[in-house]
Chains A and B, each alone.
Chain A
């Protein structure tokens, strides 16, 4: 009895708290890693076939209506009606449960969802390849705070879409299709550029590149506008190879020959001209850009013909129009891509033939197609990364196709010295066969094309560039404001102190950007570097013989790759400059800039801050 009552008393008395369970399961929810969102894999013309209704796994972030996230703000203001469209709330449970809105042309909220998803995914791919966060060019009013890039899905009635640094965003147009168009477009229907996966990826790439480099978009030579178009096209095109269903379908229809421009029709032709839909041999969607837009505007025909033209060194000498010239670069990179793809998949075909498969297969067995698709998308990812990384190895101003080639080779050697896929070899061959040769390269070999390494100050005799002591690399999340201030002062002082060794003259040197990078190399170890731009500018007469004609601004500069050193004897040596990729003022460089300036017909009287006007470049 007593026992019982004392036991009752013990039960009623608040005892000591049991120790917290280290492994108690969490009762809150982790945010998801991804947010699935529906988009068109290509554009509305392809309907539901070919895996055109795609679900992109965008990195998760909480979204406000717009969507407005951390990096992008979709604001649907229509300049032609001077009104806003209602923003989509992607965090609404009804949408969360079904991967966002279903693809449709008639609901602007799906358009908002699609531009957000594709732009976010494009940015993610760049950040993954570069090993760092990408910053947008600061808005013109200097509001740095939350630096979101604007996406305006219906900015204007115009067959055009472009990135505008002034508007701090991308303006997408929509327009009425003409009366004579392809069968897949209703005459007079509205075409939305923001529903073209390629156009969104292309424009986002322009914004990414403009954010990375201060003076990269100044059209100082004939290659610059072409390079920007080509680079944006490459980013859009390599994305195609991650659309698995479309890739599998194309592999089936081309018998594994992904590079052919036309695919096999569904049904064999019964007469010379196709009679029914299934007899039409469709275009290969993987190597075609902005299909719907191209059908109504006639644009991008250049790319098709560049990929279809045998490589020659003549076209580069005679092609001036930026898209056509850029198409030569795109064709060169794709030539290299397909070479690597063929080398890597050759064994699958050997095995296939050994098992009695045809030499020119019309239909591929499913497992073979799966293997090919896996390789094709892996190699595409690899090529995209190589191209994206090479941005950091370009000179800060006045880039040429030849510089880009050297940058690709250097970027790749830097992280993957063994070149197990033969990427560099394929790239060199493809560029050479199109006449893209860097100025000043003595041989067309890997080590001659690679930018020369800077001699280390620890060698004997030491190189002329001292270690950059005190440089802060922060961590992969970026630099704090204090760290940025330290680095800015330090790098400007370093540039002044070593102006001669860096190839500058005595006029002021600016340091427009410095970005720490955290990348893993081929054995999986972490490499920490910082890419720094240093730029000098000078006013020169347009024509030295005729000073009265006015002056123009020309720029030269150097891109430095500064590396954090591994520990030595328990101490960390100071960071050293590994590469100094220069395009300096003086000599032929000045003349080329001058020629480019004259060639543009004195577009801007001042010559200061002349950037490519993407609005005009794309529109006409």
Chain B
């Protein structure tokens, strides 16, 4: 028993070291990865070609008009599907041909039913040729389209697929964890289904987001199956963590695109949890178990058996009330924790193309950002942003707003550090989660306001375009002129 414990400890330290090495990309290769040399970077299929040296200025290319972008040759297309992410990044190669990157394709809460049509549109937009598919994290609102649209995606040719290191099937610790958390979410779902209150319903959605609604296209498992091998060709899958040097598909290398992986971090706490017996994580729910054995009922008594002094502060009824109200809503805590955990596994990718920097942050929440912004804990007098994050945020041209504009996904230091006039897109649909009353509505009003100010009013929200029978809320501000939209096909474009 004790020997096994020691090995786990070693593993954790080894990972920790990797996290520190993250800042120095050059040093990474030397980092002692004796146990798992495949970590940096790992690929399930054939390894890709060379990685372009980051920072190489892209070759000058003629400006061209049309759907493949503006002067820089970049177009970001956001499809309106409800509460979910479906982004297509298109860059123009020197020969003028468009190269496509799909970042997530899913919807969960507030599903508008438009994702099928949007996938058909994607097929037309891309000619069923995708250079790269990125799955930021395994939440239904980011991947469900790969399940429901599995038939359509089977016709797509994909050069590469990127996921976070948590998805790596060759790392037992990593695969155990999502599996456990999905199992946990399934149990939570069962318990929450019985609750009729509004909070309970939102929590149920949260849990279902993790498992994926099984009735719809086979749940998240079906979506993952598509991503792992359901395309027309057998696309190699890469698994990345913060600091890895990613392998770009040839067509994007030729186009002059570079990419950096900023997240997810290797969180020692999370890793420690994964090293534990998987059941321990689940045992915390208590719901899965039968009620504990209780005392013999001869011990049950009436409150009158206690002296009056016992009730000097609270009466028996008050005690009963306090004890029942003090039982924390474990279901809520568990659902939120499971949800956050997966959000924090989000792959954060920074693309550079034609001198423009585009940040896709998935649903990364504070922990993930914290690692990127501050290089770890917020400690010391006045924790400065890391120089790296300052440079990146300060020169950002495009930002995919994290977690659909919820409070916890775009920390204020990050918003403050962003370049004034950076363009942002937020895929969201109000009314799915949170409430204005506890300042947790999604999207969060003040955050959207702050972003609008930061972007100099260059923020597009998915609900600013019409789709199917869903018109644009007339109280919303109209789409800023920098974007274009197609109200029949239901997407918003940003071209530069």
Contact = CB atoms under 8 A, between A and B. Distances in A.
A66 interface: yes
A619 B328 CA distance: 9
Contact of B313 (A87, A141, A320, A592): A141
A550 B314 contact: no
Interface string B290-305: 1111111001111101
A346 B398 CA distance: 65
B359 to A, nearest CB: 20
Given A148-B313, A174-B292, A598-B412, A281 B16 contact: no
Interface stretch (A46-54, A71-79, A119-127, A377-385): A71-79
Contacts of B408: 601-602
Contact of B2 (A82, A139, A262, A545): A262
A488 to B, nearest CB: 23
Interface string B426-452: 000000000000111000001101100
Contacts of A152: 319, 323
Contacts of A180: 277, 279
Interface string B317-348: 01110111111101001100100000000000
Interface in B213-237: none
A537 interface: no
B293 A308 contact: no
Contact of A297 (B13, B283, B314, B453): B283
A145 interface: yes
A148 B440 CA distance: 38
A25 interface: no
A308 B12 CA distance: 13
B29 interface: no
A442 B290 CA distance: 58
Contact of A150 (B12, B314, B334): B314
Contacts of B446: 546, 548-550
Given A66-B306, A166-B322, A180-B277, A602 B439 contact: yes
Nearest to B279: A180
Contact of A549 (B276, B281, B324, B450): B450
A80 B287 CA distance: 13
A176 B285 CA distance: 11
A155 B292 contact: no
A545 B449 CA distance: 12
Interface in A537-583: 542-543, 545-546, 548-550
B376 A318 contact: yes
Interface in A499-554: 542-543, 545-546, 548-550
Contact of A66 (B307, B376, B438): B307
A302 B268 CA distance: 11
B365 A601 contact: yes
B307 to A, nearest CB: 4
A171 B269 CA distance: 27
B291 A141 contact: no
A84 B450 CA distance: 53
Contacts of B1: 280
B370 interface: yes
A455 B19 CA distance: 48
A156 B277 CA distance: 25
A338 interface: no
B476 interface: no
A1 to B, nearest CB: 68
Interface stretch (B160-168, B200-208, B377-385): B377-385
A189 B293 CA distance: 7
A283 B381 CA distance: 39
Nearest to A547: B446
A171 B322 CA distance: 10
A168 B333 contact: no
Contacts of A280: 1
A620 B326 contact: no
Nearest to A305: B9
Interface residues of B, number: 84
A82 B327 CA distance: 13
A164 B321 CA distance: 13
A453 to B, nearest CB: 25
Nearest to B294: A81
A97 to B, nearest CB: 22
Nearest to A324: B269
Given A222-B378, A601-B407, A615-B326, A84 B314 contact: no
Contacts of B377: 222, 316-320, 325
Contacts of A176: 286, 289-293
Contact of A87 (B305, B322, B334, B370): B305
B416 interface: yes
Contacts of A148: 309, 312-313
B9 to A, nearest CB: 6
B330 A68 contact: no
A222 B379 CA distance: 7
B284 interface: yes
B272 interface: yes
A565 B305 CA distance: 52
Contacts of B376: 317-318, 320
Nearest to B437: A605
A43 to B, nearest CB: 16
B391 interface: no
Interface stretch (A105-113, A364-372, A418-426, A465-473): A105-113
Contact of B312 (A143, A156, A175, A616): A143
B390 to A, nearest CB: 16
B65 interface: no
Contact of A281 (B2, B289, B320): B2
B280 interface: yes
Given A159-B283, A319-B377, A321-B269, A75 B330 contact: no
A146 B293 contact: no
Given A77-B320, A319-B268, A106 B326 contact: no
A65 B314 contact: no
Contacts of A55: none
B319 A77 contact: yes
Contacts of B320: 77, 79, 82
Given A64-B309, A549-B450, A599 B382 contact: no
Interface in A165-221: 166-168, 171, 174-176, 178-180, 188-191
B370 A298 contact: no
B413 interface: yes
- Residue with the greatest number of chain B CB neighbours at <10 A, chosen from A314, A588, A591, A620: A620
B483 interface: no
Contact of A108 (B20, B280, B286, B299): B299
B366 A620 contact: no
Given A84-B303, A109-B299, A309-B13, 15 more contacts: A77-B319, A171-B326, A191-B292, A280-B1, A316-B377, A319-B269, A319-B377, A320-B269, A542-B412, A546-B453, A548-B446, A550-B439, A595-B378, A599-B378, A615-B326
Q: A-B pairs with the 8 shortest C-beta distances?
A: A605-B439, A86-B301, A298-B280, A601-B408, A176-B292, A64-B307, A167-B322, A190-B292
Interface of A: 64-66, 68, 73, 75, 77, 79-87, 106-109, 139, 141, 143, 145-148, 150, 152, 155-160, 164, 166-168, 171, 174-176, 178-180, 188-191, 222, 262, 280-281, 283, 296-298, 301-302, 305, 308-309, 314, 316-321, 324-325, 439, 542-543, 545-546, 548-550, 588, 591-592, 595-596, 598-599, 601-602, 605, 613, 615-616, 619-620
Interface of B: 1-2, 9, 12-13, 16, 19-20, 268-269, 272-273, 276-277, 279-284, 286, 289-296, 299-303, 305-307, 309-314, 316, 318-320, 322-328, 330, 333-334, 337, 365-367, 370, 376-383, 407-408, 411-413, 416, 438-440, 446-447, 449-450, 453
21 contacts: A87-B310, A107-B299, A141-B318, A150-B313, A156-B327, A158-B327, A179-B279, A190-B294, A222-B378, A298-B280, A305-B12, A318-B20, A321-B269, A324-B272, A325-B377, A439-B380, A549-B412, A599-B370, A601-B407, A613-B328, A616-B328
